[in-house]
Chain A
Amino acid sequence: MRRRAVVVALGLAAAVAFGVKAVQDAGGGAPAVDDSFATAVTELPGSARPAFRVGRPVLLDRRESRARFAPVLRSVEALAQPRPDSASVATIATETPEGTTNIVLILRAVSRQDGTWVHVRLPVLPNERTGWVPRSALGGYQFVHTQLIVERKRLTATLLRDGRPVFSARVGIGQPHWPTPAGEFYIRDKVSGFGDPFYGPVAFGTSARSAVLTDWPGGGFVGIHGTNEPELIPGRVSHGCIRMRNADILRLARLMPVGTPLTIR
């Protein structure tokens, strides 16, 4: 209210000062002054300060590299072709050997008359087996932008995010008669707090299987884990698993989400 009184007072004072000039100007065809609207404006308060500001629109990075996985909702047959009458390739369970939710890496999806079929990477032997399942057997898609690459000759593991290396470590891999298999796989789950120093503080399950230790309890899955024998790394020392020093596996665990594609060369 004080401000308005000031403005009006100024206005009147100015009117007195400029009154003569105004009368002269009015004769020259100046536009009529829109008085009551201007008055209404002076009476209105400013805007309340917004509690937050929204930033610029968040565009997706077109160069982002990503893979897609989904949880298995029900036990389902993976088929050779995206047709209900196709041969079965494998049965996919809803849980991993560690009791976590089973997931599959998705390669692509096609829409058919009877619904959407999804081509998935399977955690079965022979390694790199794929099959088709109905979309309805899987849960929501989750995207990852990371990829883990294990080089058997160089005994290294490198994590890429959107194609750029963000982690690297030396590894121990399978002894010659228990080789770590080559191929395209994915990280299936993560376990910790299990209290077995042989595997270190954290272990990842993968979809890769040992081709020779097929009788192994749980099926002979290849894992990525820590170790209580760090002096053996790097080396060809394990039953097929990829071993890292404990500090490295802890670092990897902070950077690599479950579902990350795994390439073993």
Chain B
Amino acid sequence: MPGVQFTILESPCVPLPVENIDTDQIIPARYLTATSREGFGEKLFRDWRYKPDGEPDKQFVLNNPEYKGSVLVTGRNFGCGSSREHAVWALYDYGFRAVISSFFADIFKNNALNNGLLPVVISADKLEHLFMLVNREPSMKVRIDLEHQLLEIPKAGMALKFDINPYKKECLLRGLDDIDYLLSLKGEIEKFEKNALG
């Protein structure tokens, strides 16, 4: 089965300059009772996006018509807390395809990579600079080129190299799926079981 492909993305940014955003904020636990992967976008950042009476909170960036785009720019330690993959499904379903931060929580990062949502890590200084640029010009576009591992900000004449593990990069560029690969190892896994566990 094909996985999700990611090659080049060009988009304005949505800034959310808060640190330590946990997956309970990205998708509150009370919405985790669904048995499919679809429809979580509606509940993305539910308790920050809406007031208790259900009215959209105009202060929150997703309700600000100036900011539209498929790149979320956010503070360090994004995605900490619960392992719920629903957080990634919610971001993806809402329309995000990449998240930029100075560092991500481990499980969130793995979940993101397994669903074609690209986590882009840049230094704290560069992140600060990007927030400043986006604040100044909300419609400013960034360009993410996975093959060359480049985050380009043409307006500022900036091109930042980012790290990604080579295996996941290959999977995303080619739309490959981990499970197909693991299934192809069946013989080796059985041999391991016999030798190591037998």
Determine if chain A interacts with chain B.
no
* Interface positions of B (Cβ within 8 A of A): none
